[in-house]
Amino acid sequence: MSTTSQKGFLSFLYDCFRWNMQGSLSFQIFRLLLFAAMAFGIYAYSYQARSGLEVTGMSNIVSWGFYISNFTFLVGVAAAAVMLILPAYMFHDPDFHRVVIIGEGVAVGALVMCLSFITVDLGGPLQAWHLIPGIGQFNFPTSILAWDVLVLNGYLLLNALVPMYILYCHYKGQKADERKYRPFVFLSIFWAFSIHMVTAFLYQGLPARPFWNNPLMGPRFLASAFAAGPSLIILVLAVVHNFTNYKLDKKVFHKLRLIIVISAIINLIMLFSEIFKEFYFPTHHSIAATYLFFGLEGHDALVPWIWTSISGNIIATLILAFNPGDNNPKVLLPACFLLFIAIWMEKGIGLIVPGLIPSPMGEVVDYLPTWVELGVTLGIFALGITVVTWLIHPALILEERYEKMRASKMD
Amino acid sequence: MNSPKKKEGQMKKKDMPDTQCSRRSFLKTTSIAAAAGSASLVTGCIPGKNSGSSEEFKLKWEEYFKEHYRLMTQEEKDATISRLVRLAKLQRGLDLQMSSRPAREQVLYGYAFNISRCEGYMDCVKACVKENNLDRKSKTQYIRIFEMEPGQLDPSTGDAKYFHEVPVDNKFYMGVQCFQCENAPCVKACPTKATWREPDGIVVVDYDWCIGCRYCMAACPYWGRRFNWGKPEIPDEEVTTKQHYLGNRIRPMGKVEKCTFCVQRTREGKLPACAEACPTGSRVFGNLLDPDSEIRYVLKHKKVFRMKEELGTDPKFWYFID
Ligand code: SF4
Ligand code: SF4
C-alpha cells in the first residue's frame, strides 16, 4: 500500500508507546513493581537453566508440576475472551462492544503466559526450534502437543491482529470495516473453543493416566474456564472503571455475572458427577482421586488444597447465584476473586499433579514446588500483567478519543 | 506379536518432507544474525572458566544445528559421531567408540521374564546402570524389581524399595522396565518425533533432538522413561566407552532416556546386560522372528502374560511361570 499508510502505522505504534510512558505516578510505580517481579523471575530461571530442572520439585514420578498446572489453567482464561467477543461482534451488544478490547487484551496476556510456561518447563529450551515446521520435525497431526502449539499460536495471532486492525482504523479516525474483520472474528470464536478442547485432549488422550483419561475433561474444562475467565475480566473491568477515565456501564457487570453463574453451576454439576464416579464404586482407576481428596499411604499434600478449592468454588458460586448484595461491587468483586482463585487451585495443581500420582507402578510421592518454580511463576505472571497493561492502556486512550471524535461529529 | 513386518523405523522420505533446503537457508540467516553473544548461549558454555578451545566451540556449534537422526545420511551420522567422540576426548579425556549400527534384517527383539525363578538379587539393575551410563547422582534405574506378595500379579501392589537379604520366603520378584511397545503411546505423544520405534522393535530416543517436554513420560503406562533432571554424573573410570548413538551414550541434561534393550550390545549379537548378568537365568532375550530362538520356545511352551494388556500397547515383553 501507499507509504502514507505505512507511516501512519509507525506513528500509531509510536503513539501507543508514548501513551504507555505517560500515566499517573502510582500507575508507573505499579509497573516498576512488575518489572522487579520479572527480574526476579529471570534470576530464578537463569538458575534453573544452569542447574537443570533438578532445582524444581519435579521428579520422574511427578514429571509435570507448577508450570504445566499454570499453563493449563491460563489456557482457560485465554479462551474465556470469547464470552465477550461472541456477544460483542455477533450480537452487536453495545455494552460488550465497549469492553471487548479489554477482554482481548486479557486473552493476549494469558496466551503470552501460557507460552512462557511451556518454554520454562522444557528441558531443552534451546532445541525448541525442533518444533518449527519446515526446519524441525513437527509431529502433526499425531501428537496432541503439536496441535496445542499450533492452536495456541494461532489464537494469539487472531487475538492480537483483529483488535490491532480495529484500533488502527480508529486511530486514523475511520470506522473499522466490519466485512474485513468479521471472518476473523468468526474464526477466533471457533478457535477459542479449540484451544480449550485441544488442551484438554492433551490429558484426556492418555490411557496411561486414568485420572485424566475421562471424556468429561474437555467439557468441564470449558465450563470452568467460562467461570474463571469472566471472573477475571470483571475484576479487570472494575479496575479500569475505577482507575481510568474510561467509564463502564453497570449492565456489563450484570451480564457477565450471569455468564459466570451459569458456567460455575455446570462446572459444579460435572465435578459432582466425577466425584460420584470415582467414589461410588472405587476401582483401581480411582486411586489418583483418592490421593487427591483423601491422601494415600500417608501422603496427603493436596488434601487441604483441593478441599479449600472446592469450598471456595461452592461459596463463590452460591454468592454469585443468589446475588445477596444485588450487584453491589463490594460483594460481587470478592466473590469473583474467590471463584477465580478456587478454579485456579483446582484446574491447575489439582488437575495436573494427581494425574501423575501414584506412578503407573503404584508409587506414591508428594510434590511441592521449590522457590525456583515459585519465582519463575511470579515472573511470568508479572510478564502477563505487564503485557495486559501495555495493551489496554493505549487502547483505552484511543477508544476514548475515537468516541469523543464521533460524538463531536454527530453534534 | 502381531504384524512383526511393520517397520515404523524405516520412515520414508515422503513422510518426512525433505527439509534440507529450507534448513540451509535458515542456517545461513541464523548464523548471520547470531552474533558471538548468542553463540555462547547456544552452546551452553559461558566463556571463561569452561570455554576450552575454539575447536570445542566449533564442534558444539555444529552439533547444535544438526539434523534429526533419521534424516541424516550415513556421512552425516559419521560426522556427528566423530564430533561427539572428539568432544568427549576434549572435555573429559575419554576414548569412546560410538556406533550408529542400524537394525539387522529379519530381527524383532522380544524379552521374557520368569517370575518363578527370579530371586530379587538385582544383579541386572547393577549391570544395567553400569552398561547404560546411568546417572549415579540421582540413582537412575531403568529396571525395577518389585517384591511381591503371593496372590498378586500387579507390581503396584509390590515393593521396589526393599533393602534386605533375598530371597525372602513366600515372596516372589517381578522385574519391570520399558516394554518396547509395538503400539507405543510415548512415540505417539512426542511433538518433535524425537522418539520412535526402530525396525527391530526397539523404541529409541534421539537425545539431541528431544526438547525435554516430558509428554512421553506422561503417556507411558509402564513408567518406562526417565528424565535427566540435572547433568548426569558418572565417574570417568566407570564410563562404558562402547556406545551407540541411540543407546548408552551419555545423555545431555534436560533430555528423556529409556531402556533400549542395550541396542549397543544386541545389534552386535550380544545379550542385553541385564540378561547376561542374571544369576538365576530368569531373563530370556531373543529374536522373535527366529523360530528356533529361546524366546520363541518360551512363548510356545510356557504360560505367558503381559502387563496392562487391555491398553493395546502390544509390548514385546512377557512374563512367564515355570
Ligand atoms: S513401555 Fe513406555 S517407554 Fe517403553 S515403549 Fe512402551 S510406552 Fe514407550
Ligand atoms: S521429552 Fe523428548 S522424547 Fe519425550 S515427548 Fe518430549 S521431545 Fe519427545
Report the complex ipTM.
Answer: 0.93
Residue A284 lies in a domain: yes
- Average pLDDT value for residue range A115-122: 97
- Tell me the range of A24-28, A162-166, B52-56, B121-125 where mean pLDDT is highest: B121-125
The residues in A 146-175 lying below 8 A from B, measured between CB atoms, are: 146, 149
Q: Is there a contact between A219 and A263 (Cβ–Cβ < 8 Å)?
A: no
Mean predicted lDDT score pLDDT of chain B: 88
* SS3 track for chain B: CCCCCCCCCCCCCCCCCCCHHHHHHHHHHHHHHCCHHHHHHHCCCCCCCCCCCHHHHHHHHHHHCCCCHHHCCHHHHHHHHHHHHHHHHHHHCCCCEEECCCCCCCCCEEEEEECCCCCCCCHHHHHHHHHCCCCCCCCCCCCEEEEECCCCCCHHHCECCCCCCCCCCCCEEEEECCCCCCCCHHHHHCCCCCEEECCCCCEEECCCCCCCCCHHHHHCCCCCEEECCCCCCCCHHHCCCEEECCCCCCCCCCCEEECCCCHHHHCCCCCCHHHHHCCCCCEEEEECCCCCCHHHHHHHHCEEECCCHHHCCCCCEEEEEC
Closest CA to B145 of B170, B162, B128: B162
pTM for the complete prediction?
A: 0.91
Residue A136 lies in a domain: yes
The closest CB to that of B188, out of A125, A142, A359, belongs to A142
Mutation for A interface: B50, B72, B193, most A CBs within 10 A: B193
Predicted confidence band at A233 (pLDDT cuts at 50, 70, 90)? very high
Q: Is there a contact between B74 and B220 (Cβ–Cβ < 8 Å)?
A: no
Residue A29 lies in a domain: no
Peptide bond into B221 cis (omega under 30): no
Partners of A126 on chain B (C-beta within 8 Å) are 41-42, 44, 64
pLDDT in tens, A293-347: 999 999 999 999 999 999 999 999 999 999 998 888 999 999 999 999 999 999 9
pLDDT in tens, B152-180: 999 989 999 999 999 999 999 999 999 99
The answer to whether residue B16 scores a pLDDT higher than 80 is no
Task: Kindly identify the ligand whose nearest atom is closest to the C-alpha of A124.
Answer: 2
Residue A399 lies in a domain: no
The answer to whether residue B6 scores a pLDDT higher than 80 is no
pLDDT in tens, A178-226: 888 889 998 999 999 999 999 999 999 999 999 999 999 999 999 999 9
**Contacting residues for A88 by C-beta, under 8 A, at least 6 apart:** A96, A97, A99, A100
Lowest-confidence pick of A25-39, A117-131, B2-16, B80-94: B2-16
Task: Kindly identify the ligand whose nearest atom is closest to the C-alpha of B198.
Answer: 1
pLDDT for B9 equals 42
Residue A142 lies in a domain: yes
Residue of B nearest to A149 (CA): B191
The residues in A 182-211 lying below 8 A from B, measured between CB atoms, are: 202-203, 206-209
Domain that holds residue A106: 57-369
- Report the C-alpha gap between B270 and A40 in whole angstroms: 52
For ligand 2, atom 2, the nearest C-alpha belongs to B210
Looking at domain B98-322, which of 3.40.1710.10, 1.20.120.850, 3.30.70.20, 3.40.50.11900 is its CATH number? 3.30.70.20
pLDDT for B232 equals 96
Check which CATH number belongs to the domain holding A226 and give it. 1.20.1630.10
Q: Which atom of ligand 2 lies at the shortest distance from residue B211's CA?
A: 7
Q: Is the CB of B205 under 6 A from ligand 1?
A: no
Predicted confidence band at A7 (pLDDT cuts at 50, 70, 90)? low
pLDDT in tens, B245-287: 999 999 999 999 999 999 999 999 999 999 999 999 999 999 9
Domain tally, chain A: 1
Distance A4 CA to ligand 2 centre (A): 48
